[in-house]
Amino acid sequence: MILEQLAGNLFQGVVLGTVYGMATMGLSLIFGVLKVVNVGHGAFIMVGAFTSFAVFEYLGLSPVFAIPVAFGIGMALGMIFYYSSIRRLLKGPELASLLATFSFGVILEEGVKFLFTSDFRGFNWDLGKIDMGFTVLPYAKVAACLGSVIIAVLLYLWFNKTRAGMAMRSVVEDGVGARVCGVNVDWEYALSFSLGIGLTVASGVLLTMFVSVGINPYMGGEYTLKAFVVAVLGGLASPYGAFFGGLVFGLLENGSYTLFAQIPGLEPFAMTRFFSFLILLLILLLRPTGLLKAK
């Protein structure tokens, strides 16, 4: 009985984990290239969720079509925020960029509240579901999971097979060297910031494919905190690391529930949160480069 539940939870954890991974890649990309922690991360996810909602509700299209729209919106927001402020803060103290990204988040939250009110929205995208005996999986979740994997693979190909992608990687590895080789570092910064935001907003769409309800302007805070844990699991600076970090996190979160549920007197759900932050601290202490990379 318990084993069956554990298996079900772990399976669900993998599916959820890919979406978490996808939702963190943007954060890691921005940190990897610019060394800026995007504290407003969750608000960008929220923008994606609203994009998905609007495309489904007002245009009557499947959320799949919202992915490119969201990506485009994210790229545009990224460019605007980069050239208006992030660019000038790169040399300043860490504090400044933390506060700037936090403020972006607030602007987005309040802006979306102004447009859509603070109502809780959702949509019903039902594709049926598959019963696997130990757990039940709706096809919409399968789509979210596949979508995440596809985007992760595309990003990998872009980084490794295209000129633009390789130029960006060169900036991560050696900024001065890249400049010497004729790479326009400022433009690469702008591009990676907006690419990171684009990915984050797009991941908001995937999240609504996973869970299509509860969409509201203040939904992002929780995702910011989770993304931090996931990013650290993956080594903070690596988008692929983040993707695998997401998988591990999904497994930990869902798997530990079954374990904590065996202990009387505890609230297992809150304990899974405690557990994931505990893991975060352990990783930071023992393996700050993340689970994948050796030191």
Partner 1 sequence: MKKTMFLALILSAVFFCAATVLAAELPNKIVIGNPEALSGSQAKAGEQAVGGIKATIKWVNTVHGGVKVGGKKIPLDYKFYDCESKREAVTSLLERLITVDKVNFIMAPYSSSLTLAGAPVAEKYGILYMDHGGASDKIFTQGFRYIVQTIGPGTRYHTGTLDMLKKKDPAAKRLALAYKDDEFARSVMEGTEAHAKKLGYEIVFKRTYPPTVNDLTPLLSDMKASRPDIVLGGGHLADGQLLTQQMADLGIQTKALSILAAVTLPAFQNALKGKADGVMGPSHWEYGVTFSKEKALKAKQTWVGPSQDEFVKLFKEAIGMDLRPEYHAAEAAAAVLSLVLAVEKANSLDSDKVRAAMGDLKFTSFYGGWAIDKTGMQVGHDMIDAQWQNGKLVIVWPEAAATSALQYPKPAFK
Partner 2 sequence: MKGASRYLPSIPVLLAYAALFVFGLLNPGRWQLVAQLAFYCALGQAFNLFMGMTGYVDFGYVAFLGIGTYGMAISISELADKGLGLGVIVIGLILSVVFAVLLSLAVGAVALRLRGAYFAIATIGVNEGFRYLIEGARIWNGSEGIIFSRQLREMVGREAAMSLSTFWADVMVFGVAVIATVLTIVYMRGKIGYALAALRMDEDAAKVMGINVTRFKIIAFITSAALAGLLGATAWALKLTYVFPADVFGIHYTVEAIIIVLLGGAGTLLGPIVGGLIYGVSKYYLAVYLPGFQLLVFAPVIIVVIVLFPEGTVGMIKRKLIGTALEKYIL
Interface residues toward partner 1, by CB under 8 A? 1, 5, 8-9, 12, 16, 110, 113, 117-124, 126, 129, 131, 135-136, 138, 141, 207, 210-216, 218-219, 221-223, 253-254, 257-258, 261, 267-270, 272-273
Judged by CB under 8 A, the stretch of 60-68, 110-118, 197-205, 246-254 that binds partner 2 is: 110-118
* Backbone angles phi and psi of 287, in degrees to 5: -145, 65
Of 1, 58, 60, 95, the one binding partner 2 by CB under 8 A: 95
Judged by CB under 8 A, the stretch of 99-107, 169-177, 191-199, 203-211 that binds partner 2 is: 99-107
Q: Are 142 and 64 in contact (CB under 8 A)?
A: no
The C-alpha torsion from 184 through 188 and 194 to 200, rounded to 10°, is: 180
Q: Are 56 and 236 in contact (CB under 8 A)?
A: no
Is the C-alpha dihedral spanning 137, 5, 25, 49 positive or negative? Answer: positive
1 binds, among partner 1, partner 2, none (CB under 5 to 8 A by kind): partner 1
Nearer to partner 1, 126 or 174 (CB): 126
Nearer to partner 2, 52 or 101 (CB): 101
Contact call for residue 267 and partner 2 (CB under 8 A): yes
165 binds, among partner 1, partner 2, none (CB under 5 to 8 A by kind): none
Q: Are 177 and 170 in contact (CB under 8 A)?
A: yes
d(CA 224, CA 227): 5
Looking at residue 242, its amino acid is A
Alpha-helical (H) ranges within the chain are 2-34, 41-58, 63-81, 87-89, 94-116, 139-161, 163-173, 175-180, 185-210, 220-233, 239-260, 268-286
Length of the chain: 295
Contact call for residue 193 and partner 2 (CB under 8 A): no
72 binds, among partner 2, partner 1, none (CB under 5 to 8 A by kind): none
Nearer to partner 1, 109 or 188 (CB): 109
d(CA 147, CA 48): 14
Of 19, 37, 46, 66, the one binding partner 2 by CB under 8 A: 37
Nearer to partner 2, 104 or 210 (CB): 104
65: exposed, middle or buried (C-beta count within 10 Å: 0-12, 13-18, 19+)? middle
d(CA 178, CA 169): 9
> Least distance from C-beta 118 to partner 1, angstroms?
4
Of 115, 129, 277, 293, the one binding partner 2 by CB under 8 A: 277
102 binds, among partner 1, partner 2, none (CB under 5 to 8 A by kind): partner 2
Tokens representing 192? 């990676």
Show the site string, 243-262: x = touches partner 2 by CB under 8 A, - = not.
-----------------x--
Closest CA to 247 of 152, 129, 139, 134: 152
Residues that bind partner 2 (CB under 8 A): 31, 35, 37, 84-85, 88-89, 92-96, 98-100, 102-104, 106-107, 109-111, 114, 221, 225, 228-229, 231-232, 236, 260, 265-271, 273-274, 277-278, 280-281, 284-285, 288
